[in-house]
Amino acid sequence: MTQNITIGIKTLCEEAEKEIETVSVDDVKAIHGDDDVVLIDIRDIRELKRDGKVPGAFHCPRGMVEFWIDPASPYHKEVFAQDKKFVFFCAGGMRSALAAQSAHRMGLKPVCHMAGGFKVWKECGGAVEEL
């Protein structure tokens, strides 16, 4: 039997962006390095090795976001227990919308995601370091 997918990724991302704050790369560049902000890079480690990373960003693979946020999880990371603003980003802005929505629904706040992701960050002259 053929699958009948009724909601696509575009719709899922559009719905996520209705629930969360979306910020521009320029907004993130302006707060990059602030003590009360944590940039959360959810790209796969292979993407970081290939394309570089934003200096100071915390790497949390997309598949571990919920597990690392939940304090009851054996995988919990203390970075998510801080009273800070969490800015999620990925390569192009779609995975980060879903991750930020999930984090928001779990109770992490404040959260947002960076429109355009790492691709636009690099295009706009954001700082990049190689792994």
- Domain spans in the chain, listed from the N-terminal domain onward: 16-123
Q: What is the model's pTM?
A: 0.96
SS3 per residue for the chain: CCCCCCCCHHHHHHHHHHHCEEECHHHHHHHCCCCCEEEEECCCHHHHHHHCECCCCEECCHHHHHHHHCCCCCCCCHHHHCCCEEEEECCCCCHHHHHHHHHHHHCCCCEEEECCHHHHHHHCCCCCECC
Instruction: Please give the mean pLDDT across all residues of the chain.
Output: 97
Instruction: Enter the CATH code of domain 16-123.
Output: 3.40.250.10
| pLDDT tens-digit series, residues 51-103 | 999 999 999 999 999 999 999 999 999 999 999 999 999 999 999 999 999 99
Q: What percent of the chain has pLDDT over 70?
A: 100
pLDDT at 1: 81
